[in-house]
Amino acid sequence: MERDITKKYTNGEVTIVWKPTLCQHSKICWTELREVFDPFVKPWIRPEGAETERIVAQVKKCPSGALSYYMNKDKDD
């Protein structure tokens, strides 16, 4: 049975949302922005590795929906 796992990583400004069960291992994220996405280290997502703008642009390229994001200010109540 597939479990719905969601992990979150934030740099204080943007939050990267990671759903590993959706990942198709296209490698796009970690070949294009290794400063943030590196599957060979733990944790594999380091949101402090690049500016928010670059993170958002990269997350948008994820073809599977495994990576998504929200801006922290939009979550403030």
- Which residues are near ligand SF4 by CB under 6 A? 23-29, 62-64, 66-67
- For residue 40, give the 3-state DSSP assignment: coil
Rounded to the nearest whole angstrom, what is the least distance from the CB of residue 11 to ligand SF4 in the complex? 18
- 65 vs 73, beta carbon nearer ligand SF4: 65
Rounded to the nearest whole angstrom, what is the least distance from the CB of residue 23 to ligand SF4 in the complex? 3
Rounded to the nearest whole angstrom, what is the least distance from the CB of residue 66 to ligand SF4 in the complex? 4
Element (H, E) at 15: strand 14-18
C-alpha 46, offset from chain centre:
9
